[in-house]
Structure 1
Amino acid sequence: MICGFARVSIDGQTLDAQRAALLAAGAEKVFQETASGAKADRSELAKALKALNAGDVVLVTRLDRLARSTRDVLNTLDTIAKAGAGFRSIADAWAHTVTPHGRLMLTVLGGLAEFERELIRARTGEGRTRAKARGVKMGPKFKLTPEQRRHVAQERAKGESVRHLACA
């Protein structure tokens, strides 16, 4: 089965053009919703993904109708692949998983996204190290004043339980 997915971001936009293109391209069922691609909770997309069986194909008019971020696209494509289904975009001929060429392109895209994520992780770690060296304290602010913390430390040294001190 070819399962179409149409999405518009704003209530004022219409799904008619996407729906017509999906049906003309062979979609047997079209899931459609009005929701931002950046929004994590897209109920119609979730329904479409749950309805997939091995051999099915998810069809969209353009890749940006599926998701807004590379990470979200890759996660969604992974869900589709785990269902044994394929993916195809009408406007983006390279964005499909139904041929070896398309799988190669999406694998390269996934590799680049993973590489970027590792670069971000490394830069963040380096920034944290520099901030700590400058004396920046990481984590949430203390809820107790320095005097209260000293008092708690003294009471703990005397053997008082944390539970008792929290209730005091």
Structure 2
Amino acid sequence: MATYGYARVSTDGQTLDAQCDALLAAGAQRLFQEKVSGAKADRKELARAIRILDQGDLLVVTRLDRLARSTRDLLNVLATIAEKGAGFRSLADPWADTTTPHGRLMLTVLGGLAEFERELIKSRTSEGRLRAAERGVHMGRPGKLSRHQREEARQALVNGGATQADLARRFNVSQATISRLAMTA
């Protein structure tokens, strides 16, 4: 069972020293450090730290905002750590400690609230889409071909005068676009 520390700052002008000192004082045997914005999904050192976690290991950060950029991101990272059978602890947030029953409870409640929020957002989004469709709003990206071009391509397909590949080149679209037209011809 090993204890790993993860330290992150957002800009080159900031220093990792205080975080590293706190993590070492908390018993971290190995540190993973990076200077990258928390808004970036691709945090290579965090991914490396999580990748080496084994059953019973512990990942420690100084504060939750060093680990995740949002509640959803935090829950995803913690789920990945839990799948490895490892624990997590934030030094500045004692309630965020998956090695204690209270910490697991708090994170479970937080996870439940985040799931509830996701369901509300999904419901509101679906309702908004339905109302927009009722008003005749077109969803999705605009079509590549005009109505006239679609008719012309369909006629060429029906009359057998052109292959799908020929039509795709002629109208400067993918062959899949012409193939979808062929299904409606």
With the length of structure 1 as denominator, give the TM-score of the two structures.
Answer: 0.94
Indicate the residue corresponding to 1:59 in structure 2. 60
Higher relative contact order (CA 8 A, sep 6+): 1
Indicate the residue corresponding to 2:175 in structure 1. none
**Other structure's SS at 1:38 match:** coil
1:105 Cα deviation (Å)? Answer: 0.6
1:14 Cα deviation (Å)? Answer: 0.6
In 2, the alpha carbon distance for the partners of 1:162 and 1:116 equals 46
Q: Which runs of 4+ in 1 moved over 4 A?
A: none
Give structure 1 stretches of 5+ with no counterpart.
none
After superposition, where does 1:134-149 map in structure 2 within 5 Å?
134-149=135-150
Length, aligned pairs only: 168
* CA deviation map 1:40-73 (0-9, x unaligned): 1111111111111111110011111101111111
In 2, the alpha carbon distance for the partners of 1:96 and 1:86 equals 8
1:156 Cα deviation (Å)? Answer: 3.1
Indicate the residue corresponding to 1:40 in structure 2. 41
Q: CA RMSD in A?
A: 1.3
Matched, 1:6 2:7: yes
Indicate the residue corresponding to 1:111 in structure 2. 112
Higher deviation after alignment, 54-63 or 140-149: 140-149
* Percentage of pairs with the same residue: 65
* CA deviation map 1:59-89 (0-9, x unaligned): 0111111011111111111111111110001
After superposition, where does 1:1-168 map in structure 2 within 5 Å?
1-159=2-160, 161-168=163-170
Give structure 2 stretches of 5+ with no counterpart.
171-185
**Other structure's SS at 1:26 match:** coil
1:16 Cα deviation (Å)? Answer: 0.5
**Other structure's SS at 1:68 match:** coil
* CA deviation map 1:96-119 (0-9, x unaligned): 100111111101111111111111
1:163 Cα deviation (Å)? Answer: 3.2
**Other structure's SS at 2:93 match:** coil
In 2, the alpha carbon distance for the partners of 1:96 and 1:125 equals 36
